[in-house]
Structure 1
Amino acid sequence: MTANRLDAEEIDWTPAAVGPPPPAPPPAPARPRRIGSLEILAAALVLLVVFRGPLAGLVAGERLQTWTTVFVSVLVQAVPFLVFGVVLSAVIAVFVPRSFWARALPRHPALAVPAAGLAGVVLPGCECGSVPIAGSLIRRGVTPAAALAFLLAAPAINPIVLTATAVAFPGNPEMVVARGGASLVVAVAMGWLWLRIGRTDWIRLPHRPDLDGESKAQAFWAACRHDVMHAGGYLVLGAAAAATINVVVPASWLQSVADNHVLSILALATLAVLLSICSEADAFVAASLSQFSLTSRLVFLVVGPMVDLKLIAMQAGTFGRRFVVRFAPTTFAAAILVGAGVGAVLL
């Protein structure tokens, strides 16, 4: 009986253990394509072309015509540099391995800081792209001091920005040298300062970029699309603000500020933070502020790519609030002092 009962139990168990596999889950339904910012921009441009006649009548006033002239002139001069810089920045970000930067820098941290600052020459992009790249450098083992020097130098000393500065100031070639030299000095000084007093717990390491895992072509176009829409939006706002300043603010006010050397430097440094213009286009806005001295406008060009509202937000999201509350104010003060000093010597 015992043997028969065990055999029966074995026979009863076997079908349950070797049953048919469960059915495969149904495929996830395809998500509907959402209308993004690029589609909205394209639709807005089409509407502007279609209704250009009625819209032209709205700017018949002298002040509105002046605003439109300044706004369009800034955009027309800046957009080619912005697009070219975004494309080259996407090529470097997608096709150049991240480990390259760690291998290229010297092992000694004090030597890695100026080397990382000079490496900004080979990154033709704006500050929007330097923040995630600096985060990747830190995650790949590069000393934070060197990564921060690269973060500050790359948007200001790359060839696209310096060429745009030369075009914006055709009669003042010394402005290109002054901007490149002052920006590099600030970047290296901040890197060495962080090496001296910085703490690792002030930085929250960034997450992996969302482009990981995608094909090269998809990552390239996604990077281009994001940078054009992001930096282009800030460029439009900056051009509108520059045009508004030229129209709304009385010329006597600007002239009174511009006549005071110290006040003009502080005013344009603060304006650079508030406007948050892409470094590939800020030279054209600075050139339009002709009431101010070259030194004041140099400070505007040194501060802008290092400290502005969008950068503060991006740095807080990438490195954490503890980092940005210490790094941004110190960089702002250093950029003003170095920019004013270099301007006094070269301009």
Structure 2
Amino acid sequence: MSAPERAARTAERTELPSAADDQHRPAGRPRSSSPSPIAHRIGSVEVLTALLLLLLVMSEQLTDLLSTPALATWTTVFVSVMVQAVPFLVFGVLLSAVIAVFVPRSFWARALPRHPALAVPVASAAGVVLPGCECGAVPIAGSLIRRGVTPAAALAFLLAAPAINPIVLAATAVAFPNNPEIVAGRAAASLIVAMVMGWLWLRLGRTDWIRLPHRPDLDGLPRGQAFWSAVRHDVVHAGGFLVVGAAAAASINVLVPERWLQTLADQPVLSVLALAALAVLLSICSEADAFVAASLSQFSLTARLAFLVVGPMVDLKLISMQAGIFGRRFAVRFAPATFAVAVGVAAATGSVLL
């Protein structure tokens, strides 16, 4: 045998097993291969474990730190905002997933008028039948836009639902037992603001300002799997921004001196602006804000009405969630415009009814 033939035989013996060899290999016996290093990625479980260990090691230091009055107040406000908001956020996310998976697109074409200008007041009035707060309305509005509802109508619903639903109006009546006119004023002013903002969007809004986060395609999945996929997606995008907004609201509560409020209460015009700004900073859930407004007895009823109208439409946690669901370009335009319209309508309504 020549040298080239011997080299060819040696090469054949050292080749990797062929497909034919795989057929004769006993089941369960893996093909031999050289070991390769496995890259290890740090995930959420590792991060959570590290945080828990850190809290355990530094428990004494954290106890001393939390005993300071300022940090104790911050923690109380943060936890209260989260406790108030999370149940309604979950409700809104679940309803949003139901709309995305189980409600056909043709339903909205039948339920709302075809003309966008007429769809706005119908969507605003639909907020009466949905008990919930602003945290739940944000993902629902995003899901409505995904299902083909005109953004103007979805945004009108977003603003109206947290302020004019029966639970909120009943809570307002309980908080102001001697002033039933403030309940009517809150419902009327909130409905007007929602419709005005919807019509303003039709006139001035641009579709490229809304950038909904990419949601996995749900059409090809089984309904149960698609439902939970939509829930996980919305919880990640809305819940994270809720935490940011709650932390900002808690920080403002600690940093703003109470004596400033007493000084502003003596100025009729400034008192309206002050309570409207306070509603943005405190970020109280719409089911509870009436009791806070009732406690601000040093302010006029008109100023407290502005607090009740602005709060469910514009606050720190809501702005954060809108940025997470609709995009930052939308939030930086929509929130200031809503604040200006809400303050103006609340002041006008208060001058007529209160």
**TM (normalized to structure 1)?**
0.69
User: Which ranges of structure 2 fall in alignment gaps of 5 or more residues?
Assistant: 1-11, 24-29, 32-39
2:108 to 95, 102, 105: 102
| Equivalent position of 2:175 in the other structure | 168
Over 3 Å counting, the alpha-carbon distance change for 1:90 and 1:140 in structure 2 is closer
The answer to whether the 8 Å contact 1:136/1:206 transfers is: no
Give the whole-Å Cα distance in 1 for the aligned partners of 2:118 and 2:279: 31
Over 3 Å counting, the alpha-carbon distance change for 1:320 and 1:238 in structure 2 is closer
1:249 aligns with 2:258: yes
1:301 aligns with 2:308: yes
Give the whole-Å Cα distance in 1 for the aligned partners of 2:324 and 2:240: 19
1:266 to 251, 266, 273: 273
Structure 1, residues 159-199: CA drift from partner, whole Å, max 9, x if none?
22222222222222222211111111111111111111211
Any residues of structure 2 matched to 1:85-164 within 5 Å, and which? 85=88, 89=92, 92-95=95-98, 97-99=102-104, 102-103=108-109, 104-164=111-171
Over 3 Å counting, the alpha-carbon distance change for 1:79 and 1:192 in structure 2 is same
The answer to whether the 8 Å contact 1:235/1:278 transfers is: no
Over 3 Å counting, the alpha-carbon distance change for 1:277 and 1:174 in structure 2 is same
Residues matched between the structures, number: 312
Any residues of structure 2 matched to 1:310-321 within 5 Å, and which? 310-321=317-328
| The structure with more radius of gyration | 2
Deviation at 1:143, TM superposition (A): 0.8
Any residues of structure 2 matched to 1:192-231 within 5 Å, and which? 192-208=199-215, 214=225
| Equivalent position of 1:20 in the other structure | 22
Deviation at 1:157, TM superposition (A): 1.4
Over 3 Å counting, the alpha-carbon distance change for 1:158 and 1:219 in structure 2 is same
User: Which ranges of structure 1 fall in alignment gaps of 5 or more residues?
Assistant: 1-11, 24-28
Structure 1, residues 285-316: CA drift from partner, whole Å, max 9, x if none?
21221111111011111111111222222222
Deviation at 1:146, TM superposition (A): 0.8
Query: Structure 1 stretch 93-102 or stretch 169-178: which is displaced more?
Result: 93-102
**TM (normalized to structure 2)?**
0.68
Give the whole-Å Cα distance in 2 for the aligned partners of 1:81 and 1:260: 32
| Equivalent position of 2:185 in the other structure | 178
Deviation at 1:123, TM superposition (A): 2.3
Give the whole-Å Cα distance in 2 for the aligned partners of 1:82 and 1:319: 19
Deviation at 1:89, TM superposition (A): 4.1
1:160 is paired with a residue whose SS is helix
Give the whole-Å Cα distance in 1 for the aligned partners of 2:280 and 2:340: 12
Give the whole-Å Cα distance in 2 for the aligned partners of 1:209 and 1:174: 47
The answer to whether the 8 Å contact 1:122/1:158 transfers is: yes
1:277 to 284, 287, 291: 284
Give the whole-Å Cα distance in 2 for the aligned partners of 1:79 and 1:308: 14
1:20 is paired with a residue whose SS is helix
Deviation at 1:332, TM superposition (A): 0.9
Q: Which residue identity does 1:174 align to in structure 2?
A: E
Give the whole-Å Cα distance in 2 for the aligned partners of 1:114 and 1:169: 28
The answer to whether the 8 Å contact 1:239/1:285 transfers is: no
Deviation at 1:112, TM superposition (A): 1.0
Give the whole-Å Cα distance in 2 for the aligned partners of 1:209 and 1:35: 26
RMSD value, Cα: 4.7
The answer to whether the 8 Å contact 2:89/2:135 transfers is: no
Deviation at 1:318, TM superposition (A): 2.1
Over 3 Å counting, the alpha-carbon distance change for 1:264 and 1:197 in structure 2 is same
Deviation at 1:266, TM superposition (A): 0.8
The answer to whether the 8 Å contact 2:93/2:140 transfers is: no
Give the whole-Å Cα distance in 1 for the aligned partners of 2:266 and 2:216: 47
Structure 1, residues 306-330: CA drift from partner, whole Å, max 9, x if none?
1122222222222222222221111
| Equivalent position of 1:346 in the other structure | 353
The answer to whether the 8 Å contact 2:241/2:324 transfers is: no
1:287 to 288, 291, 294: 294
2:331 to 319, 324, 328: 324
Give the whole-Å Cα distance in 2 for the aligned partners of 1:332 and 1:323: 14
Structure 1, residues 218-276: CA drift from partner, whole Å, max 9, x if none?
9889989999998799779868977997xx523xx534311211000111111111222
